[in-house]
A and B are shown apart, each in its own frame.
Chain A
Amino acid sequence: MSAATRHVLFVLLALLAVFVTAAWNLPRAWLGSPLSLLPPVLVCAALQEQGSAWQWVAVVGGLARDSLSLDPLGVSILPLYLTGWFLSSHRELLLSELAFAQAILGLAVGAAVPLLTLGLVVASGDVPAMGGRLFWQWLVLTVSGGLITPAMFRIWRRVEAWFAHPMIPSTSFREDREILRGKY
């Protein structure tokens, strides 16, 4: 799969994550908070992709998220970008193939992105209602980020498989070792 296709797919995945966050009301009705879906896409993009897909996820995903929120437009770009940059620059050191490591990274990013965003929202002059409810919502976002990130890696592998050429299974057959039987 070409780098451009991967970029487009990651951006589409980010847009879809924002759409599901806004349109799927079940977690909000049951847990009092939406699930964290965009940070797992960012983690996946930053660790899977050599190029700049994570930057596109941060900018386009952040804009899309803010377009469906009372937050000032553009406020969530920076937190996503900074966390994506950190992950991308430490890609070689992170055990991104292990589900456990993916979950820990998801927890960390799921916790950091809402905190940084809220900090910027407050700094820009908008003050949402603070209190115990906000802490609970942050917990839900953190835990859901940790749970969804390994699943997001699996989804990405599946998506990649759709667009890649099928692998030719290796075989032990060798013509020079073929035992020919019968009359010849």
Chain B
Amino acid sequence: MSVRPQWLTFGGVMLLVLVLLNLPQAASSRLRLVLGTVYLPLFGATRVAGTVVARAEDALTPRGLLLRRNQELEDENRGLHARLLQAEEALEENARLRSLLGWREVSPWRLQAARVIARDTASWWRTVYIDAGTRDGLKPDLPVLAAEGLVGRLGAVGPVSSEVILIGDPKCRVAVVVREVGENGVLTTLSPGVLDHRLVDLTHLARNTALQPGQTVFTSGLGGVFPAGLPVGTVVDWRSVGYGLYTEARVKLHADTSRLREVMVVLP
């Protein structure tokens, strides 16, 4: 190709990039979701292939192992059933006391299960994509859980897929409370300088907070995005920062966000 057409093409590409970068946020999100739908058939095919492989593995698993696993699950189920009965009792008592005090009733969470279909192609963001969207009742900013605890919140939501911004990403800050000491703080980004992707910085703690390793961290409900009481992680260590003005801690997340396969979205 001669030099002049190359510069013309470059001009065209520059114009395209400038237009795309200056699109309004809503239009950019919509265009991104539309472009992402190109991959939906491939993600579907991957899921089918995964199911086929899982079935093949199931067929090859020895019967003795399956029976033993079944027995273990039945035992666990019995224990969980007993705990559920206790929890239901406590829930009823809680509702009774709330009505006596005249407090507003808290509606139980409704959960929408979804599978993780993709991860952010850029290594510097912590985002995953799930196979549920507006047709499943999802909206931006809804909290997302794994079985172990909170993992993040919804970003852009499309008709059949959505973006989940994980804890540790600068765009997902979580208001939390250290349950044992009742101290409020904010979970910000992943702790720098370490390769453990489960360690997140907890900032804005008061300077004389009596922190101990192993103390549990839950969402505080402040900020309005995450409901109170979602388990997040445990305190690992802490240090005094800002010339002793406040304390910063490192929190190990309960959920391993790098190996997420299924998540649950808390519906309003």
Cross-interface CB contact of B39 among A19, A55, A70, cutoff 8 Å? A19
Chain B contacts for A58, CB-based, 8 A: 13
CB pair B39–A71 under 8 Å, yes or no, is no
Docked CA distance A67–B29 (Å): 9
CB of B121 within 8 A of CB of A22, answer: yes
Contact B119 A34 (CB under 8 A): yes
A158 at the interface (CB under 8 A from B): no
B165 and A74 within 8 A (CB):
no
How many angstroms from the CA of A23 to the CA of B189 in the assembled complex? Answer: 24
CB of B23 closer than 8 Å to a CB of A: yes
The answer to whether A29 touches B14, judged by C-beta atoms less than 8 angstroms apart, is no
Whether A32 touches B195, Cβ cut-off 8 Å, given contacts A25-B119, A70-B125, is yes
- Taken residue by residue from 152 to 196, chain B's Cβ proximity to chain A (1 for < 8 Å, 0 otherwise) reads as 000100000001010011110000000000000000011011110
Place the interface of chain A in its size category: 35 or more
Cα A113 to Cα B119 with chains together (Å): 19
A137 contacts the other chain (Cβ, under 8 Å)? yes
Min CB distance A88 to B, Å, is 8
- Bits for B106-139, please: 1 = Cβ < 8 Å to A, else 0: 0000000000011111111101010000000000
CB of A87 to closest CB in B, whole Å:
13
- Do B118 and A132 touch (CB < 8 A)? no
Q: How far is the CB of A61 from chain B (nearest CB, A)?
A: 10
How many residues of chain B have a CB within 8 Å of chain A?
50
Q: Is the CB of A22 within 8 A of B16?
A: no
Q: CA A74 – CA B21 in complex, angstroms?
A: 6
Return the contact of A131 from the options B1, B129, B192 (Cβ within 8 A). Answer: B192
**8 Å CB interface, B57-89 against A:** none
> Taking A132-B194, A141-B123 as contacts, is the C-beta distance between A67 and B20 under 8 angstroms?
no
Does the CB pair B190–A133 fall under 8 Å?
A: yes
Q: Of B10, B119, B129, which one neighbours A85 at CB under 8 angstroms?
A: B10
Instruction: Judge whether B52 is part of the interface by a CB distance below 8 angstroms.
Output: no
Taking the closest CB of chain B, its distance from the CB of A163, in whole angstroms, is 22
Question: Which residue on A lies nearest to B258, using beta carbons?
Answer: A29
Whether the Cβ atoms of A118 and B121 lie closer than 8 Å is no
Stretch at the interface among A75-83, A100-108, A147-155, A165-173: A75-83
Which residues of chain A come closer than 8 Å to B31, judged between CB atoms? 73
Contact residues in B for A44 (Cβ distance below 8 Å): none
A182 to chain B, nearest CB (A): 61
